Copies of this chain bind each other. A is one copy, B any other.
């Protein structure tokens, strides 16, 4: 598990914490998107690169590793040449799908430029 230094004192001021905890797990810039793509099955490293080309290799690695550390994602290495690594949701990770899907619905519903949006 990753470090979670919440910095809370012992004063019991943690009412907002569950939400904060959840956002800590899925709130990374790319995590929700990666999770979303794993809902419909296992994905390989380069598949992610193809699906979201705007994420750099380094960030992809880092975000996937954090998800792995949090027990959300299972990483399976196939010792082949060329190498093959598959990423999938763990059982624990699956418990997040309702949230992700709800976020997807909300996003589709309210995103203005739902089709093009590429400017100038």
Interface size of A in residues (CB-CB distance below 8 Å): 54
B18 near A107: Cβ-Cβ < 8 Å: yes
Q: Tell me if A42 counts as interface (CB < 8 A to partner B).
A: no
The digit string for A71-92, where 1 denotes a CB below 8 A from any CB of B, is: 0000000000000000000001
The digit string for A2-28, where 1 denotes a CB below 8 A from any CB of B, is: 000011111111111111111100110
What CA separation (Å) do A98 and B105 show in the bound complex?
Answer: 11
A19 near B7: Cβ-Cβ < 8 Å: no
| CB-nearest residue of chain B to A111 | B21
* Copies of chain A in the complex: 2
B37 near A32: Cβ-Cβ < 8 Å: no
Q: With A16-B51, A19-B36, A36-B19 as given contacts, are A106 and B99 in contact (CB-CB < 8 Å)? A: yes
A37 near B15: Cβ-Cβ < 8 Å: yes
Interface core residue of A7, A9, A26, A117 (most chain B CB under 10 Å): A117
B106 near A95: Cβ-Cβ < 8 Å: yes
The 8 closest A-B pairs by CB, nearest first: A18-B107, A16-B33, A22-B103, A22-B107, A21-B107, A18-B108, A19-B36, A12-B116
